[in-house]
Chains A and B, each alone.
Chain A
Amino acid sequence: MQIPLILQFVNLLASILLLVVFAMLAQRRILSLINLFAWQGGILALSTFVVAYSTRQHHLYYSAGLTLVLKVLLLPWLLHRLIRKLQIRQEVETLINIPTTMLVGIGLVIFSFNLAAPIAELAQGITRGLIGIALASVLLSLLMMMTRRKAITQVVAFLSLENSLFFAATSATQGMPLVVEFGIALDVLVATFIFGIFFFQIRETFDSLDISHMEKLKDD
């Protein structure tokens, strides 16, 4: 079966999205991690735009624009400002070493591709093969959240998780209603603000952003 060139392009963008999530998983520097997050947002915006163009759904143009403004420009800028203010310059600390994380990641990709295969059979859209990729990105973001020690990298992982979910929505179901998307975008923005405040509070209390300090009781 020959699929049109524009959908091949969406497939390519989906693969690059997965690649970026893997790159984030392998990344050791916080600054590059945030830049990768910005790239992820850019690819997401582009793929939403292409889906909007190919399916002629006008509200997807708005969500592509929203993604561009929020996830490529605003959120990375906020995160950059945060790490400048908190003066975090060191490497990302991981709980498991990076090669092991990557191996687990490959396992997750195989798992989610297998899991998504029967779902994709049921779906109608032409881009249904992308559900597997979106699911894999979601699981990889979760993995990144679990294996990172510092609060700020966990937040980047959370934002990447949201990106993957958004991608799943646009590719598999041709997008949610615009109101819902606006609501989610606003939520993410507010969450980032609140996380920023949290970072300062955590550091004030524990003198570090390492969340393992929170497991100890105060009297220890």
Chain B
Amino acid sequence: MKNTGLILAIVFQLTQLLLVVLAAPLLTGWVNQCKAWLQNRSGAGVLQPYRALNKLFHKDAVIADNASWLFRITPYIVFGCMWLAAAIIPIIAVDLPFSRAADVIALVGVFALARMFIALAAMDVGTSFGSMGARREMLVSFLAEPALLMVLFTASLISQSTQLTHIVETFAHHQFILYPSLAFANIAFVMVLLAENARIPVDNPSTHLELTMIHEAMILEYSARHLALIEWASSLKLFAYIGIGIALFLPQGIIEAGNWAGLPVAIALLFGKLVLLGAGLALLEAMTAKVRIFRVPEFLGTAFLLAVLGLLIHFLLGT
């Protein structure tokens, strides 16, 4: 009996792994399509990321002469980290076998590992754009990371656990309570999401304008399958972040592992939420203007302060 439970949980884990890795480019495509509509363009369709990945995987990779092994191995590490992160987060079901592997702090560590490798690889070739992008990325991320941790701590304080599975169980499967502290954490999280996924107020994912780019500057030297993996990893990262957002703030509908009957409903609900949140993200990006790079610390400082305020409010108002 215990064995069947374990096997079921593993099957659920594999379902989530496959679902996440296949659906991540779709989410990116959907966000881009919404942005195109908002900008009065017809857009390339939601399937465009798949076509781009297909094209890139069929090309021959060109690698700079002075690139080291670090440069070659980075796309695989980044992709692996993002896939692992997406496997840990309870996206369709709680209590998956992988979720015990890491709590929220380790999850932030997984993101940091990927970021470190991509920044090192950007510096590896020695072009000026690569190192500029890497330095900017480190600036943004070292400000975003404490804000993200504070958001996660607020949720952990409420649920008395740093395991995302327990957090989701506390929020979704118990009596409905309004948490004012989560309102602050929510806004801070959206700001961190925008900064970490190279979205508009901080970075523009759709341009190669040399003065402003951060993420694109780092991956400028990559081509073919390496570039495809990094693009895919970026989609996975966006998916994972939105997954964390759903787990923290909209957890209704995430089922327990082994609940076959609830699975179609859970997946349908997940897609509904992703459609809404993706459109919301596109709307947010369409409404804001990109800030100057020296305003970014202010933007992320605000996110950090909001997260701290959420913690303080939690201590004051309790519940």
* A interface, CB within 8 angstroms of B: 2-3, 5, 8-9, 11-12, 14-16, 18-19, 22, 26, 98-99, 102-103, 105-106, 109-110, 113, 116-117, 129, 132-133
* Bound Cα distance A11, B319 (Å): 10
Question: Do A19 and B315 form a contact, CB below 8 Å, given A5-B178, A12-B180, A14-B180?
Answer: no
SS class, residues of chain B in contact with chain A: helix
**B312 in the interface (beta carbon within 8 A):** yes
Asked if residues A106 and B302 are in contact (CB atoms below 8 Å), the reply is no
Q: Which residue of A lies closest to B176 (CB)?
A: A5
Task: Give how many B residues have a beta carbon under 8 Å from the other chain's beta carbons.
Answer: 24
Complex contacts, A5 vs chain B, CB 8 Å: 176, 178
Complex contacts, B318 vs chain A, CB 8 Å: 129
The contact of A11 among B180, B184, B298, B312, by CB within 8 Å, is B180
**B209 in the interface (beta carbon within 8 A):** no
Question: Do A113 and B309 form a contact, CB below 8 Å, given A99-B298, A102-B301?
Answer: no
The contact of A16 among B183, B301, B312, by CB within 8 Å, is B183
The contact of B183 among A3, A12, A113, by CB within 8 Å, is A12
* Bound Cα distance A22, B308 (Å): 12
Q: Which residue of B lies closest to A116 (CB)?
A: B316
Q: Which residue of B lies closest to A109 (CB)?
A: B312
Question: Do A22 and B297 form a contact, CB below 8 Å, given A8-B319, A12-B180, A113-B316?
Answer: no
Asked if residues A9 and B183 are in contact (CB atoms below 8 Å), the reply is no
Question: Do A12 and B178 form a contact, CB below 8 Å, given A19-B183, A99-B297, A113-B315?
Answer: yes
Complex contacts, A8 vs chain B, CB 8 Å: 177-178, 180, 319
Question: Do A11 and B178 form a contact, CB below 8 Å, given A3-B319, A19-B183, A113-B316?
Answer: yes
* Bound Cα distance A105, B305 (Å): 9
**B282 in the interface (beta carbon within 8 A):** no
The contact of B309 among A11, A22, A117, by CB within 8 Å, is A22
The contact of B312 among A9, A14, A99, A113, by CB within 8 Å, is A113
